[in-house]
Amino acid sequence: MENQQRTNDGKSPDRKILSEVGENGVAIITINRPPLNLLSVDVLLSLKEKIEEAIRKDSVKAIVITGSRGNFSAGFVVTAFGGSQQRKTHRELGFMSVDFITDTLEASRKPIVAAVEGFSLGGGFEIALACHARISTSTSKLGLPELQYGILPGFGGTQRLPRLVGLPKALEMILTSKRISGDEACNMCLVDAISPSDQLLGSACQWALDILECRRPWSISLFRTDRLAPLAEARTLLNSVRAQIQKQNPNVIHPLVCIDVIEHGILCGPRNGLWKEAEALHELRQSDSCRSLVHVFFAKQSTSKIPGITDIGLLPRKINKVAILGGSLMSSGIATVLVLANYYVIMKYIDQNSLQNGIGRVKANLEGRVKEGRMTQEHYKKVCTLLKGVLSYDNFKDVDLVIEDVPDVVSLKQQFFADLDECCPLHCIFASTTCIVNLDLIGERMKPCREIVGIHFFSSPSVTDLLEIVRTERTSPQTLVDLLNFGKRIQKTPIVVQNCTGFAVRRMCFPYLQAAMLLVEHGADAYQIDKALTSFGLKLGPFRMLDQDGFQSAGVHDVKFLETFPDRSYKSNLIPIMRKNNRAGKYTCQGFYTYNDKEEASPDPEISKYIEMARSMSGITIKSKVKK
């Protein structure tokens, strides 16, 4: 091979991109910005230079693009989306999409093959899409996550992906930022072949030579039409997806812009679509949504960086087997999340009937994913083998984590943890989902060497990506590192909080919910409040949120906050009155709303009489300004 440290002009090479030519005449061009090989304008310019150089060389027959140290490329540096680089890079990005990705890379007179391993996301994935073939490992992760940052794919992803996999699958991947494995990509013909990691480069080089010798097809992704539906069918689908997005997120614009760009390419041709994509990217990168979502991205990143905990060199211990105590809906939801993340889960119940119901709920959750097309029947069967229901502690000898989710009765919880103390290994982490009982009190009957933490999932666990980890004075740095890693593995955003009233999430929600109660009791309409806040952009208004959480939980938390913050709390009688009248929220199909068999909410006129009773008990008179 040519010495990869030598260049034509004798100058020191740019180490962001490496290039070497093998004896077979294939130039291997490597994106070299480990660990994730992130892109920037400078990296793209260097990549363009290396590809153009390889195209010019007579000794080069074909080209393979890959990434260093096990990753192809995880995409563009996020700071370029909504941050300080926006004025500098918007022109270059549009230029790169057409002049480089399309007119240099894809239009190359020599075949170019992408050798994909590890992460191939965003702009990195779009580079692979423009290659004439893609060879991947089975475990690679491919996707276009740009909508998570308030923008859209800007290197041709809106035009090439629909032409490679069809419009329905492309819309799903782009609009949900869905990542797929190499195996999944191969099944949908997004990659051409699967290769083991140690044979990936060899396979990609051979594929490129086969294209050159006409033994493999030379595919130009941008101009393929065989996977596109007829125009009328495509427009019907696009309009349907538009309507669905407008209903779910009426204040969010960038998914609609993305759909418009995809449609423009179908109607006016892919090259026109590329320019439309570049213009839309420039506009969206300057939007408030983009800046806010980029802020959220970095905020999420910062939650896993805790001074004195994550910066002292501790490595997370493996958590393979998790036990869950409790038969609630939350327990079943947590178990569903864990088995989907490939954890072996034991669910302990007090009797056979509870066991059957609990395991049945988990399987129903998984079956729902199969019906929705989010899981194959084969995957369903595999995941179900990770789940086991038990009535005793016999299987707890090798568990790594126990999550207790039993009713908030101190003596009951203390007994459970005393029993666990006797049957679980010393390395096992004990966690409770309680939001009310003091964690130090729960662990009083355990051995002094044991520690206990809080671990809070939110309703519903499969949808909400937040995970609250509560530390006490006895919680070790190692345990926190273990749980932070656990949170990431189950695709949650873990936040570590202190052991205090309300912790973080409920402490923020409490004044919000109290304000809603105060307004209603002084004359505001509950449903108008919910409508105003969902119109503002929240998924649920305060009263739908209370129904979702359940009135028992809300009532207990009200008492706790009133005790802790008597001078800063508003005492409302509305929830206690509704509970006395057998209303407990969504779980009983009657709260502030009524719920049908499909769990659809409808306003309930009877609510007005309970509000009037609460006013009467508190001696409140309606204020005309509030009622308006």
Active-site positions? 126, 146
Q: How many residues does the chain have?
A: 628
| The token pair that represents 606 in the structure block | 């009877």
Rounded Cα distance between 425 and 172, Å, is: 44
Backbone angles phi, psi at 184, to 5 degrees: -60, -40
The Cα angle at residue 622 between residues 616 and 627, in degrees rounded to 5: 140
Backbone angles phi, psi at 2, to 5 degrees: -70, 145
Asked if residue 419 lies in contact with residue 450, where contact means CB atoms within 8 angstroms, the answer is no
Residue with tokens 């345990």: 479
Asked if residue 332 lies in contact with residue 405, where contact means CB atoms within 8 angstroms, the answer is no
Q: Is 325 exposed, middle or buried, given 0-12, 13-18 or 19+ CB atoms closer than 10 A?
A: buried
List beta partners, residue 549.
none
How far, in whole angstroms, is CA 39 from its chain's centroid? 22
Secondary element (H or E) of residue 136: strand 133-136
Rounded Cα distance between 468 and 471, Å, is: 10
Q: Is 133 exposed, middle or buried, given 0-12, 13-18 or 19+ CB atoms closer than 10 A?
A: buried
Rounded Cα distance between 281 and 94, Å, is: 8
Residue with tokens 């005790």: 563
Phi-psi region of 313 (alpha: psi -120 to 50; beta: other; left: phi over 0): left
DSSP class of residue 451 equals -
| The token pair that represents 63 in the structure block | 């080209």
Backbone angles phi, psi at 288, to 5 degrees: -65, -35
Rounded Cα distance between 252 and 250, Å, is: 6
Asked if residue 61 lies in contact with residue 206, where contact means CB atoms within 8 angstroms, the answer is no
Backbone angles phi, psi at 13, to 5 degrees: -75, 160
How far, in whole angstroms, is CA 445 from its chain's centroid? 38
Asked if residue 582 lies in contact with residue 590, where contact means CB atoms within 8 angstroms, the answer is yes
Residue with tokens 């997004």: 190
List beta partners, residue 430.
402, 452
> How far lies 467's CA from each of 344, 434, 486, in Å?
19, 13, 10
DSSP letter string, 325-359: E--SHHHHHHHHHHHHTT-EEEEE-SSHHHHHHHH
